[in-house]
Structure 1
Amino acid sequence: MQTLELPGGGTIPALGLGTWKIGESAGRRGAEVAALRAAIAMGYRLIDTAEMYGEGGAEEVVGQAIAEALRAGDVRREELFIVSKVYPHNASLHGTAKACARSLARLGLDHVDLYLLHWRGEHPLGDTCEAMQTLVAEGKVRHWGVSNFDTDDMEELAALAGDCAVNQVYYSVAERGPEFSLLPWHRERAIPLMAYSPIDQGALAADAALQTIAERLGISAAQLALAWVLAQPGVAAIPKAARESHLRENLAAAELTLGPEVLAEIDRLHPAPRRKRPLAMI
């Protein structure tokens, strides 16, 4: 698995697993835990979650899967890179620490590897930064960052704190808004961008034009779309997948190398933005 360098040291896997919409139903919990166990067994090491997902339910599912995998000897804790996020309304100077403690309890962990502000809210950004830095100093968080921040937000953040490690945004072959100014800003500062919904929640799997290119390459349209995101310098991706076949397809996509002709063909189908527009967000 390829990795990206993090500011201040350390690395993050280029491909991970998202858990949005997991943990919303007790009846599906067993299957969801099993899917995460399977993902860990086949090599996934980056797992992304949030207190918002299932109102903590996703963190509980992730926590159970990790605990079972550790007991079974499938993985060591230090091999995993666990990401969670704080709700904006909880991200006050003191509320951030309390939210993190609740997340750690649900995950059954003594620290997370990356803790993100899910999106900007009512609390002063400086207070959230201070709270994040305190969590790092206390060893409860290894790295901290943000999500759904555009270029102007990142400029403001950089003036307050110089240790933001990651920004997680919606980015896909069909949603290339970050390329206009945000992604170049990140690259100039060597701060990784983490792409959520890199296959447009599965919609790109049915993109007829991408299917034509993919068939020629002997892969699926979803794999092509994911490989395109992973081919962008400084970008990691966290597609959600529950079926074992999809988990394996995504892992295989991370090993693909797309030639310049294929990349140019995709550019013609889904051109890069020519003007600034608001970030997509789901």
Structure 2
Amino acid sequence: MKSVRIAGRKVFPIGLGTANMGSDKSIYNQELEAIRGGLEAGIQVIDTAESYGNGDAENLVGHAIAPFDRKNLFLVSKVLPSNASKTQIPVSIDRSLKRLNTEYLDMYLLHWKGNIPIEETVLAMEKVKDSGKIKAWGVSNFDAEDIYALRRMDGGINCSTNQVRYNLGDRGIEFDLLPTLNQFDMALMAYSPIARGDQFGANLTKQKKVIELAEKYNVDVFQILLAWSIRDGQTLAIPKSSKIEHVLKNVDAATISLNSDDLRKLDEVSPKPTSKMPLALWY
């Protein structure tokens, strides 16, 4: 079984994203079934945030994980930049833990950069980690220069991961950010790993070469895009789906091993970056 290492732990390389989940009561049970079905199929990582539905997603996750062995899970949540101060991070983490019905998080992320000095956030993260309420911490939506600056701060070398938008159509991080993360042995968490569009507005699911690969492996085009996102063995992808059938297909995508010829064809669909590109953002 494929795995990826994050914060010193090996986990299944495909997780569960939960943005915009938990708020629509008409599909709450469907979303609950999707999360539990994914966990039963081998998924370990669930990614959420205090901002998702003002805590609704965390409440959903807390409900979903109740029947499972906590030590087998890898729970990730994110703190809003406005709450990333030395006084507010302790408040936010306690609220997240209560909604998730757990005593600790495996990973706690700064959702994006804000007005609070990052030096203060780092020290607050370290203090929360020392308390045992989080096992590790990281950042989200940080570019290469942000990572270098972070590493120079007291405690900054303890940043374990960076969560950014990454998919076949959004490859800008390959130019400088991904090499930077590899240099510092920081795991990449990829959100929106099966986004349909690229920077030119093309729908990747309609591309002939993507369709041909899906036919070759007898899978759907979304599974090909997801398999591409974890191809290097160092990326943890966190696609979001509220339907169990889609979640199970995501799990199966980890069994697809794209060869060099396959990857060359996908490079023709969406080429590697040859210069610095703006970080693709979606909060």
Normalization by structure 2: what TM-score?
Answer: 0.93
Query: In structure 2, the residue corresponding to 1:119 is in which secondary structure?
Result: coil
Residues 97/207 of structure 1: CA separation in 2 closer, same or farther (3 Å cut)? farther
Which stretch shifts more, 250-259 or 112-121? 250-259
Query: In structure 1, the residue corresponding to 2:115 is in which secondary structure?
Result: coil
Letter in 1 for 2:182: R
Map of 2:78 onto structure 1? 85
Kindly indicate which of the two structures has a greater share of residues assigned to helix. 1
> Aligned-pair distance for 1:12?
3.7
Map of 2:184 onto structure 1? 189
CA contact (8 A) 1:207 1:221 kept: no
Segments of structure 1 that go 5 or more residues without pairing to the other structure are 71-75
> Aligned-pair distance for 1:40?
1.5
CA contact (8 A) 1:104 1:111 kept: yes
CA-to-aligned-CA distance 1:102-161 (integer Å, 9 cap, x gap): 100100010010000000001000111011111111100001000000001101111111
CA contact (8 A) 2:38 2:251 kept: no
CA distance in 2, matches of 1:56, 1:146: 19
Map of 2:121 onto structure 1? 128
> Aligned-pair distance for 1:81?
0.3
> How is 1:1-282 mapped onto 2 (pairs within 5 angstroms)?
1-7=1-7, 9-67=8-66, 69-70=67-68, 76-160=69-153, 161-200=156-195, 204-282=204-282
> Aligned-pair distance for 1:249?
1.1
> Aligned-pair distance for 1:2?
2.5
CA RMSD in angstroms comes to 1.5
CA contact (8 A) 1:14 1:235 kept: yes
Letter in 2 for 1:221: V
> Aligned-pair distance for 1:41?
1.7
Residues 201/21 of structure 1: CA separation in 2 closer, same or farther (3 Å cut)? farther
Letter in 2 for 1:249: K
Aligned residue pairs: how many?
275
After the TM superposition, which segments of 4 or more aligned residues of structure 1 sit over 3 Å from their partners?
Answer: 201-209
CA contact (8 A) 2:33 2:244 kept: no
Identical amino acids, percent of aligned pairs: 39
CA distance in 2, matches of 1:228, 1:246: 17
Higher relative contact order (CA 8 A, sep 6+): 2
CA distance in 2, matches of 1:115, 1:47: 12
Segments of structure 2 that go 5 or more residues without pairing to the other structure are 198-202
